[in-house]
Amino acid sequence: MSSTGTHEPPGVTLPAWLAGPETVRGLSQDALAGLAERIRQFLIDKVCSTGGHLGPNLGVIELTLALHRVFDSPRDVLLFDTGHQAYVHKILTGRQDDFDTLRQSGGLSGYPSRAESGHDVIENSHASTSLSYADGLAKAFAVRQEHDRRVVAIVGDGALTGGMCWEALNNIGGAPDRPVIIVLNDNGRSYSPTVGGVSAHLGELAGLAGSPRTHLRSYTYDTDRSLFESLGLSYLGPFDGHDTLAMERALRRAAALRHPVVVHMVTTKGRGYQPAEDDEEDCLHTVSVVDPQTGRPRSASKPTWTSVFGHEIGEIGAERDDVVCITAAMPHPTGLTTFAARFPDRVFDVGIAEQHAVTSAAGLATGGLHPVVALYSTFLSRAFDQVLMDVALHRLPVTFVLDRAGVTGPDGPSHHGMWDSSILPVVPGLRLAAPRDPSRLRELLREAIDVTDGPTVLRYPKATAGADIAAVYRVGECDILRESTEGEVMLVAVGPLAEPCLSAADELAGDGVPVTVVDPRWIAPVSPDLVSLARDHRLVLAVEDTTATGALGARLGQALTASGSSTRAATFALPPRFLPHASRNQILQAHGLDAAGIATTVLKRLGREWQTTIEPTEEVPT
């Protein structure tokens, strides 16, 4: 296809002979170019239909072809960092027929998956990890005397802004006898344009500082001026990452060196698909179901939790000039676009560096500001030590806003935000909130930013924000959403699970079971008001979109026991294991976290039979 954005009609297929890496090694350059174009059309067709990471994969088609023509996977180990740029690798390793199921329940994963193929050695969607894997694998091969195996790490989409990469480079560069080939896929972007001194250095190496990444110098850069060379690695490049022949020559040269080397490839994210190439905000980095002609969603978008946060933080910024925002390479996905446009000097994108983001926020707070750190829930776990020792120990007022909390859906186990509300409550002085609706998000965000003596956290899912749910009244910090005076059952509805809890209460009322529904609003630490409300009921069930271990139900049960109450308290949450990809609703329903499943669980706890044919598809967690 051309770069005009046009492509073949839906139903683009790949040749049947494309059954594995060996099938592309004997192709002529003309045949390779034709295959690359066909793969590009195939990806646009499939990913626009299913959703997934589009821009990153369109940019690595020629690069991945070159890798599989030079190296013998899986004997030679290819490690993709981050894993969302591995779609072409999946195609070339025999999984092309599975793309209709991409990121769907039981279907093809959007990241490398060891269960899918022996060509996927690691499962990763957290960036900046591949060089450490590569260092360890190279050491293992040396110890095992497997000197004929090569380790190739493909680093791209801003991964070099992450600190782990530089910790690994420090070790790799100091071991000249362990050859690791680092393929630097330099497209100048992570989600947004890559930031910082490393990005500027790469631009200088490519001769592209201050200009579009479209014109490459035709000679190898003076390695004496390369930062990589200073660390003990050889440096080759820059090379045109869309010239398969040039890349093959560079990769063969790198392999022949037999010591650590960086091969610098300059690529264009979204290559060959004009909507993606022109995408300044990187909305086409990952897409839902979109129109392939325009790259726009097929259906009208509804307000999301992210958009509600984005609007409110902008309003708060206008009212308080001490509020600043920090993000780790994701200003648009975390909802900071409006804030950044209104207050460009008060938003800081630190790159894919969550640990640095948190401690930098601690510095901002020490300097008299109130930082709001906007991250995906799954990525905050990378900076737990910094939350604990750099923020909480100093009782600093830093607010963490965790997008994609709980079940995220099609991105799978490494992206589910299942851990934050079980891990963070152990941090002394930290307060954690879970809004049930848009109004509570706005309310709790303002309450969090008003806290001056320690960290606060706000968590919400990747989902459409539903309608507001009014409270009957408030007791301290807790909202009573439905009241029963009979003291039978109390559902503690955490965040957006308030809606299915209320529906479950309606179903249970029809079975003669009176139910009180309470939204604690702040779920850590356990509120004395919540304990007092729970003491008045026979059974209390905390319903949560998190892993059961360490969840609110367990902590509430401990508090009730300590108070001398005989109330039975239980956690109804997700099992403590990695969950596969599927839609958010499918996963919640599979684990009984919908209205029918909640009602069933309550009746089982009460020892009654549930008169319905609806049953959870998984065993109810205890």
Binding positions for Mg(2+): 157, 187
- What gap in Å lies between CA 449 and CA 455, rounded to an integer? 9
Token digits of residue 393:
């120990």
- What gap in Å lies between CA 117 and CA 74, rounded to an integer? 9
- What gap in Å lies between CA 375 and CA 355, rounded to an integer? 11
Q: Where are the beta strands (DSSP E) in 144-266?
A: 151-156, 180-186, 234-240, 261-266
Query: How many CB atoms are closer than 10 A to CB 26?
Result: 8
Q: Cite the annotated binding site for thiamine diphosphate by residue number.
A: 84, 125-127, 158-159, 187, 273, 354
- What gap in Å lies between CA 352 and CA 580, rounded to an integer? 25
- What gap in Å lies between CA 33 and CA 393, rounded to an integer? 57
**In terms of Cα–Cα distance, which of 54, 66, 60 is closest to 5?**
54
Q: Which residue has the tokens 């200003």?
A: 331
> CB under 8 Å to 410, separation ≥6 — which residues?
51, 52, 103, 104, 110, 581, 582, 583
Asked if the peptide bond before residue 82 counts as cis, ω within 30 degrees of 0, the response is: yes
604, 620 in Cβ contact below 8 A? yes
Q: Cite the annotated binding site by residue number.
A: 84, 125-127, 157-159, 187, 273, 354
φ, ψ dihedrals at 442, nearest 5°: -65, -40
Task: Select which of 38, 69, 178, 269 is catalytic.
Answer: 269
Token digits of residue 100:
């209709």
Token digits of residue 304:
């999301």
Task: Select which of 38, 271, 382, 459 is catalytic.
Answer: 382
- What gap in Å lies between CA 242 and CA 272, rounded to an integer? 11
Return the percent helix, strand and coil in the chain, to nearest 5: 40, 15, 45
DSSP H/E element including 132: helix 130-143
Q: HEC string of 300-356?
A: CCCCEHHHHHHHHHHHHHHHCCCEEEEECCCCCCCCCHHHHHHCHHHEEECCCCHHH
DSSP H/E element including 620: none
- To the query of whether residue 608 is one of the catalytic residues in this protein, the response is no
Token digits of residue 503:
């529906």
Question: Which one-letter DSSP state was computed for residue 193?
Answer: B
Task: Select which of 62, 354, 507, 544 is catalytic.
Answer: 354
Q: Is 430 helix (H, G, I), strand (E, B) or coil?
A: coil
**In terms of Cα–Cα distance, which of 97, 14, 24 is closest to 64?**
24
* Strand-pair category, 77-81 with 347-349: unpaired
Q: Is 487 helix (H, G, I), strand (E, B) or coil?
A: coil
- To the query of whether residue 354 is one of the catalytic residues in this protein, the response is yes
Token digits of residue 436:
């049930």
Q: Where are the beta strands (DSSP E) in 22-117?
A: 52-53, 77-81
- To the query of whether residue 604 is one of the catalytic residues in this protein, the response is no
Sign of the alpha-carbon torsion through 92, 93, 95, 99: negative
Q: Is 507 left (phi over 0), alpha (psi -120 to 50) or beta?
A: alpha
- What gap in Å lies between CA 380 and CA 386, rounded to an integer? 10
270, 48 in Cβ contact below 8 A? no
> Active-site residue numbers?
269, 354, 382
